[in-house]
Amino acid sequence: MTRAEQGVLIVGAERYRLGTIVDGQPVIDRLDLPADASPAQIAESVAAGFAERGETHPSLVLAAASSWCFWATIDTARLPRRRARQAMVYRLEEHLPVSAEQIVADFVQAGDHAIGVAAMLERLSPLISALESAGIYVSHVCPTALLALQYTLHVDGSANVYVWQHDSQLDVLAVRDGHLSDWAVLPAVDADLQTHLTILSEQLDAPLRIAAGDVAPPLADCLSKMPDVQSLDAERPGLFDQAVRAAADLSGATMSPWIDLRRGQLAARDPLRQIRGPLSAAVAALVLLAVSLCGGMLWRAGAYQNVIDANRQRQLAAVEQVLPGRDVEAHFADSRLAAELRSLQQRHGRSPQTTADTPSLTLLHGLLSRLPTMLRFRITELQIDGDRILIEGETRTHGDAEVIASALRRGDVFTVETPATQALRDKGVAFTLQATVRKAQGSPGGAG
């Protein structure tokens, strides 16, 4: 069987009922309770009903009896911008036999006026507290008749008057332009019904098209014999069936109730309770995703670091093979520091220590005259920055780079650092040489 997400506790004039949707159809059970049952007794009976249906975390719509409700139409013109709802409650109070502090109220706007519906706090509050103490969450508090009317208009709005009989009384609701315009609770007596429909006909200023549900045969005959009344012959669902269907739509978030008295002093203490389970699951999924992403990034960073370390070890091994006995780690550290120094000088301008004492052309002549002539190599870049010189090029072997450095050292004109070399993919070796002019030397032009 397919169960509804939440049930409906229907508070009737004489009985209490628990309704749910099973296989797409409303199923309503009468609770074995006296009419004057205490809130604790009602909650215990409802909890037992949910347990029989296998509900472990039940929630319900509390459908209040029409006899528990007051209603009136109020003018909404010239309401204050701040605390407008409270002002509407005080305007509704003018039509009620009780004070605003004793009620909870909600409103549905209809043009320049609003329909206000209220119920006594002293009736609803103990019942809601008892249900929640029994582990039952109350999601909405709505008048049964308005739930049924709202759902009926949603699926079929062909009538302008709806009559439902239940518990030896009648709910008569009139509709104009899709909005509730009149609501009366009458004894199930044909004379009272005829009188009220006559008044409605004058108020609506239109022929009455009446849809009746669960009406006894004598009342149905009364409706069919009234002049200027069109009684729709189609069989109509009862009040409680329509209320249960409306509650199912509320649980599926496909409909919002016109009137919901679960507000103010009756507001839920935990408004996220209905979605707390899915919300917690979503948060847990996000945390798991974040942990997985962090773990993946750490693993990827470790893999890249392993590649870097392996390449560095191969570099060091190659340099050690070409230049045995050298402090390879110190060579790389010196080269890195020199590169950082050049980067800073280029970013912030020439350092005062790099001011040239020797003309650049003289330095260039001295460099070119000292390069070996019996060795094949290529210079790809030559920079003269003051007394500092940078040479980048390509040769055939790592040893050839050292031969070039040794040639530049001749004559003690240039101080030449150990060349940095790197093997190229298509054979050959790239080299970088850094040199400075010795200050004690007058001119580097000679070959020495």
Q: Please compute the mean of the pLDDT values over residues 254-271 and round it to a whole number.
A: 86
Confidence class for position 354, pLDDT limits 50, 70, 90:
very low
Backbone angles phi, psi at 110, to 5 degrees: -145, 90
Distance of alpha carbon 60 from alpha carbon 71, whole angstroms: 24
- In angstroms, what is the C-alpha Rg of the chain? 46
Cβ(32)–Cβ(218) below 8 Å: no
Q: Is residue 240 scored above 80 in pLDDT?
A: yes
Two tokens, residue 68: 């528990």
* pLDDT value at residue 4: 43
Q: Please compute the mean of the pLDDT values over residues 305-311 and round it to a whole number.
A: 91
Task: Tell me the residue length of the chain.
Answer: 448
Two tokens, residue 446: 């000679």
Percent of the chain with pLDDT over 90: 39
Distances 347 to 86, 336, 342, 351, 415 between C-alpha atoms, Å: 68, 17, 9, 11, 25
Q: Please compute the mean of the pLDDT values over residues 371-385 and round it to a whole number.
A: 90
Scanning 76-216, the segments in alpha helix (DSSP H) are: 84-93, 121-133, 144-155, 190-204
Q: Please compute the mean of the pLDDT values over residues 347-373 and round it to a whole number.
A: 71
Query: Which 8-state DSSP code applies to residue 23?
Result: T
Q: Is residue 338 scored above 70 in pLDDT?
A: no
Confidence class for position 447, pLDDT limits 50, 70, 90:
very low
Distances 433 to 335, 342, 391, 448 between C-alpha atoms, Å: 10, 13, 5, 20
Q: What is the CATH number of domain 7-158+232-271?
A: 3.30.420.380
User: Would you say the CATH fold of 328-437 matches that of 159-230?
Assistant: no
List the single range of 214-228, 246-260, 319-333, 341-355 with lowest mean pLDDT.
341-355
* pLDDT value at residue 364: 85
Per residue in 214-230, pLDDT (tens digit) is 888 888 888 888 877 78
Give CATH superfamily name and number for 328-437: General secretion pathway protein M, EpsM (3.30.1360.100)
Element (H, E) at 311: helix 273-322
Per residue in 226-235, pLDDT (tens digit) is 877 787 765 6
Q: Is residue 163 scored above 90 in pLDDT?
A: yes
* pLDDT value at residue 386: 78
Mean pLDDT, the chain, rounded, equals 84
Q: Is residue 351 scored above 60 in pLDDT?
A: no
* pLDDT value at residue 387: 83
* pLDDT value at residue 94: 93
Domain ranges for the chain, please list them.
Answer: 7-158+232-271, 159-230, 328-437
* pLDDT value at residue 223: 84
Higher pLDDT, 181 or 105: 105
Q: What is the CATH number of domain 159-230?
A: 3.30.420.40
Two tokens, residue 325: 């006995």
* pLDDT value at residue 88: 93
Two tokens, residue 77: 């013109």
Per residue in 264-307, pLDDT (tens digit) is 899 887 666 666 677 888 899 999 999 999 999 999 999 999 99
Backbone angles phi, psi at 3, to 5 degrees: -100, 155
CA–centroid distance for 148 within its chain = 33
Q: With CA atoms as reference, report the closest residue to 210 among 154, 170, 255, 260.
A: 170
How many Å from the N-terminal Cα to the C-terminal Cα in the chain?
Answer: 104
* pLDDT value at residue 352: 45
Give me the residue label for tokens 């009040």.
239
